[in-house]
Structure 1
Amino acid sequence: MLTRALKQAACGLFFFVICAGIANAGKIGVSPVRVTLSDSQKIGSLSVRNEGTEPITMQMEVLSWSQREGKAVFAATRELLANPPIFTIPAGNSQLVRVGLRRAPDAQRELSYRVILEELPPPPDSDSSGSGARMTLRISLPVFVSPEIDTKPLLLWQAVRTSQGALKISLSNSGNAHIQIKNFKLSLIDSVQPWATLQTSDYVLAGQSRDWILPANPENPAPPPGVSLKLFAQTDAGDIEAEVIIAP
């Protein structure tokens, strides 16, 4: 069985927190890890807890979040307000932070943003030689703003073999709300065993698309064009099933 795990990029201690529940990135816990706002709910709250043994200072930043050709695009924005912008949490304590909407929701489509919480390094220790490196924590949380109309993703799955023999799975979301794909598996129509399993945690925003590449495997080659695959995926909108025909 071909298995591919797509892992989130990390540089030092750089985390994108995009799952539901409580995030715990080392000594900092954040709950919830997603904020949903609307015209009737313009303020959301986050609880940031310091599980470490020393005080920690955090800085907040808000960014607009879009996607282009499957890649995340971030830009500074004044459409959201995060307060307090800088705060210090004593060891074993927590801080309540507010995220507020400063514009009207879009009339037709969900808006998307990111709240960035970044640890600020402590002042230099006069007794320290300064030779040691210190890694700081950076957490990114999604914020969605719902329009007044009902929202839902509209999904189209496609599959095609690449010239290298890999299988490219594409998902287009023509709806007016995001979808978060947590994992999916592909099976031949007449088989109960998965042909391929992929573990991921990717968002496809409204009106956007994303590709996943399942690499060529001589021991388990991709089926030829015209073959149908059963797809089962776990998402933040519930489990979904689809039939995908490999394009010629």
Structure 2
Amino acid sequence: MLKQAACGLFFFVAWASVAKAASFGVSPVRVTLSETQQMGAVTVRNDSIEPVSMQLEVLNWSQEAGKDVLTPSRELLANPPIFTVPAGGSQLVRVGLRRAPDGQRELTYRIALQELPPPPKPDFMGSRMLMRVSLPVFVLPEVDAKPVLRWQATRTSQGGLKVSLTNNGNAHIQIANFKLSMPGSAQPWVTKQSSEYVLPGQSRDWNLRANAEYPAPLPGVTLQLFAQTDAGDIEAEVIIAP
């Protein structure tokens, strides 16, 4: 069995310093490179009682219609590409940039760490779960990089609310969670647990269901939004479109 998980889904706070799978841990869970920092490092630690063999894959990371698109890339170097970590040991993986940073926009990649199946034991019966971890790699542009966010909200045909975020900046944003409150209300109308990246020039939607106790606000109402992100806490006003 293959269990695949993006690093942003390992923990609710996805930019924590360590991600742990069933048999190994990875630290840090993201790499940031630039013109002045063209090399980075990731430590893979084996917490199991058996050796763990890993294979690395470097992927270009883009988004289309709010979905991640991953394609093989040679613009990064991750070394060693295949390695075995002894029980209780660790392995240093070096990540290097093989191209110049973009002049205006952040570049985005992912490094996939795939656990390889061990040699079968004669008495083994059943299936084995193999872990796959995907780490984001960000390459800063030559200019200052920051997200520029635009929030929107519209009522759905089912009576719920669709909240949309467009990133018009030149750097990513990662939304850990957000809540929407009615005007003058101390209690949030809805709280959304999330761990979503929105890359530069991309958008993402969240469909929020309403119920009889908490119906969706009417068009024209201005909601107060509070979100926790990897760029810090943000607040914004969101007007429900007619």
Q: Which category describes the TM-score, using the shorter chain as reference length?
A: over 0.9
In structure 2, the partner of 1:100 is 96
Shift of 1:218: 2.2
2:235 to 204, 225, 241: 241
Note the residue ranges of structure 1 that are not aligned, 5 or more in a row. Answer: 1-10
Question: What are the equivalent positions in structure 2 for 1:56-205 lying under 5 Å apart?
Answer: 56-125=52-121, 127-128=122-123, 131-205=125-199
**Length-normalised TM-score, structure 2:** 0.95
Amino acid aligned to 1:162: T
Q: Deviations over 1:85-111 (max 9, x none)?
A: 000001000000011110111110000
CA–CA distance in 1 between the matches of 2:179 and 2:218? 18
Amino acid at match of 1:148: E
Deviation at residue 131 of structure 1 after TM alignment: 4.2
Return the offset for 1:73: 0.3
The match for 1:51 is 47
What is the alpha-carbon distance in structure 1 between the residues aligned to residue 130 and residue 204 of structure 2?
30
Give ranges in structure 2 of 5+ residues lacking alignment: 9-13
SS at match of 2:185: coil
1:217 to 211, 217, 225: 211
SS in 2 for 1:33: coil
**d(CA) in 2 for partners of 1:147, 1:245:** 33
Q: Which amino acid aligns with 2:75?
A: E
Matches within 5 A, 1:19-34: 19-20=14-15, 21-34=17-30
Question: Quick one: distance in 2 between partners of 1:188 and 1:115?
Answer: 41
Cα deviation for residue 13 of structure 1 reads 2.7
Residue by residue over 1:85-143, the C-alpha shift from the partner in whole angstroms, topping out at 9 and shown as x without a partner, is: 00000100000001111011111000000000010001222x23x64111100000000
Q: Is the 8 A contact 2:149 2:168 kept in 1?
A: yes
Q: Which one-letter code corresponds to 1:224 in the other structure?
A: L
Question: Which of 193, 210, 222 lines up with 1:228 in the alignment?
Answer: 222
Letter in 2 for 1:77: S
Q: Residue deviations 1:26-54, cap 9 Å, x none?
A: 22111100000011111110000000000
CA distance in 1, matches of 2:2, 2:37: 36
Q: What is the distance in 1 between the residues matched to 2:155 and 2:2? A: 36
Please name the residue that 2:11 is paired with.
none
| Aligned mates of 1:215, 1:73 — CA distance in 2 | 27
CA-based RMSD of the aligned residues comes to 1.1
Distance (Å, rounded) in 2 between the aligned partners of 1:35 and 1:194: 34
Instruction: Give the superposition deviation at 1:12.
Output: 4.8
Q: Which amino acid aligns with 1:16?
A: A
Equivalent residue letter for 1:169? V
**Size of the alignment, in residue pairs?**
236
